[in-house]
Amino acid sequence: MAAGTALPLINGPAANRLRRAATYASVGVAALLIAVKFAAWLETGSVAVLSSLVDSLLDAAASIVNLIAVRHAMSPADREHRFGHGKAEPLAVLGQSAFITGSAMLLLAEAARRLIWPVAVDNPPAGIAVAIFSIAATIGLVLYQRHVINRTGSIAITADELHYRSDIVLNVGVIAALFFSSALDFPILDPLFGAAIGVWIIYSAVRLAGLSLFQLMDHELPDDERERIREIAQSHPNVVAAHDLRTRVAGPTSFIQIHLEMDGSLSLLRAHQISDEVEAKLRAAYPHAEVIIHQDPEGIEEPRSNFPRRTAAQ
């Protein structure tokens, strides 16, 4: 959920267009950066530049996987997937994390080799120029991705944005490595910076894995979001209380289940109308949510649920 963002979340075709545009933009930027970084690595032979090139190759692979996952996640629910295909996004992110970690380990191995057998960096200014260009292109992409995330709440775009945000730090490290190894005539700094970048990539991969597992394990929404849902439900004048709130997230879609207590003398038709009104309020606050509401007569003891309650009130 994106509570507190400047713009409300959107759903439907408009959100799908934004997600597709963001994935195409990330693939295009990754391809451009691969080309310029490959040329810079051939020119300099720098491990730091190589680490940046490897990271861009990973970003390109991850962006292509994201493109496929986002297209699949946007597919409507069908006979075999009644709850939709939203988990395609966190599954793709989890696969990316494993792939990125493995590639970072190879990068660390190359840095270790250069630490043992240092090699001077050729033409550092060329590598620095490419790193500056990469930072500028990446900042533009990240700003656009942040806009898409704020409008759609996509975890796949969030993962991609984390990749490219890491690239900004990575390329600053490349500039520092090339400058200091050349200015101080100390070639061992290049593989040291390369190794530090490898560790940073692994750290980013672990964060991505955490994002995906949050959704794959059907984790509850944060407590402040759950409290907001309860407040919205209980704001209706005919709702006495709300309990048994359960939530989870699958890709761009959140699932909300809640029991509403109402006056037992209300007709079934009126109780249904009240539930529809509460559901409309929840959908207005959470455009990507699927909402299921159960009506309970006030004061009637229910059978114990198979699921533990978060608190006595919930």
Measured distance CA(247)–CA(145) in Å, rounded: 26
The whole-number pLDDT of residue 23 equals 84
DSSP designation for 292: E
Whether domain 223-297 has CATH 3.90.1170.50: the reply is: no
More confident residue, 18 or 110: 18
Structure tokens at 201: 């990539």
- pLDDT band at 280; cut points 50, 70, 90: very high
Sorted by where each begins, the domain ranges of the chain are: 13-216, 223-297
The whole-number pLDDT of residue 279 equals 93
CATH code assigned to 13-216: 1.20.1510.10
User: What does each C-alpha distance from 268 to 164, 262, 265, 272, 296 come to in angstroms?
Assistant: 53, 11, 9, 6, 11
In tens, the pLDDT along 92-111 reads: 777 777 777 776 776 677 67
Q: 223-297: same fold as 13-216?
A: no
- pLDDT band at 220; cut points 50, 70, 90: confident
The whole-number pLDDT of residue 300 equals 73
Share of the chain above pLDDT 90, in %: 17
Averaged pLDDT, 56-76: 71
pTM, entire model: 0.59
Give the start-end residues of each E strand in 171-263: 241-250, 253-262
Whether residue 146 has pLDDT greater than 60: yes
Contact residues for 138 (Cβ-Cβ < 8 A; gap 6+): 29, 33, 164, 167, 168, 171
